[in-house]
Amino acid sequence: MYGLIFVIQAGNYPVLAIVGIPVNSVMIGVLAQGKCGLSKCVTRYLVAMATADLLVIILDVVLRQIPIVFWEQFTFLYDVPVCNIHGVLLHAATDCSVWFTVAFTFDRFVAICGENLRKKYCTEKMAAVALGTVSVLSCLKNTMWYFIYTGRYLLFNSPFFCFVPESVRFSDVWVSIEFLHHILTPFVPFVLILLFNLFTVKHILVSNRARKRLRNHSAGESPGDPEMEKRRKSIILLFSLSANFILLWATFMVYSIWYRMWLFRYRSVDTHGIVIEFGFMLQLLSCCTNTCIYAVVQAKFREQLRNVFKYPFITIVRLLNDEKK
């Protein structure tokens, strides 16, 4: 099984890097132009989410997972003492990727359910404040990895991807800090996203029932209702994000919490090491799908994306025509 996993990883991680970096880069460029029919508030969140995912792909897939899988070609990293700095940046980017999703989900919750707060909270300025706060807190929170890790790379796929002295690794103090880290990311986001989406869907369903009753008492109304169709799409969109986040992060979350419980000497359940390998692959896959769920379903985004791909060919044709003239 380990041999099969390594073969899958040897193909998966390079493809993930080759696809994920251009996809997120193009998405950032297209969304930043503000021509996708989205509000400035939503655009800020989507650009931030894509940027965080891009950083995770670079810091985790390119600079961590690929050197681990192809370790024979990266043995020079043993002499590069920056693993603890790498750890701080990697975990901070991962936290931002997760908590940006939570912040965006909360923003959509307020936009749909909070009529009184909508005009005050769902603004470009508040989006910038929320994203800035998450970024600063993520960086401050993850400075602890600088002291937990050493500068030496292990090139081994485990929750500790840097060398950690046993005096630290099995210390109840540091184990408690690590346990809290994995509770905050991604367990708490799991709960928050589920709650926000549950309340949002409940609000939409209640509103739809009330709207149907009003329409049934109205005369001369057409059977179609654009507002209800818009709400139906909102439900599908919210459930898609929740399912994507939960399914792709669940394995990593369960193993991470179990591993810390094992260090607390709670060893009633044994989990095979293959689980964490799948967990890493699924978690990193979310960096290529998370923002796409929100953005690609937008017709204007698809139009702008087509224009991006057409632009090089249009430019070449124009240059050829100019030369002929």
Q: Domain with 252 in it: what CATH number?
A: 1.20.1070.10
Q: What is the pLDDT of residue 185?
A: 86
- pLDDT over 70 at 209, yes or no: yes
pLDDT tens-digit readout, 215-241: 665 544 445 566 666 666 667 766 777
Quick: pLDDT tens for 74-132: 999 999 999 999 999 999 999 999 999 999 989 989 988 887 888 889 899 999 999 99
Amino acid, single-letter form, for residue 290: N
Burial class (CB in 10 A: 0-12, 13-18, 19+), 295: buried
pLDDT beyond 70 at 291? no
Note whether residue 303 is domain-resident. Answer: yes
Q: Which tokens hold the place of 289?
A: 């799908």
Euclidean distance between CA atoms 1 and 3, whole angstroms: 5
pLDDT-based confidence at residue 269 (cuts at 50, 70, 90): low
Residue 245 pLDDT > 80, yes or no? yes
Would 321 be classed as within a structural domain?
no
Question: How many structural domains compose the chain?
Answer: 1
Return the minimum-mean-pLDDT range out of 133-142, 155-164, 200-209, 287-296.
Answer: 287-296
Q: Would you say how long the chain is, in residues?
A: 325
Residue 324 is assigned to a structural domain of this protein: no
Q: How far apart are CA 112 and CA 133, in angstroms?
A: 23
Distance CA 162, CA 98 (A): 22
| 323 part of a folded domain | no
Whole-angstrom Cα distance, residue 11 to residue 34?
35
| Domain presence at residue 244 | yes
Q: Which residue has the tokens 């799991």?
A: 190
105 and 49 Cβ atoms separated by less than 8 Å: no
Domain span at residue 170? 2-316
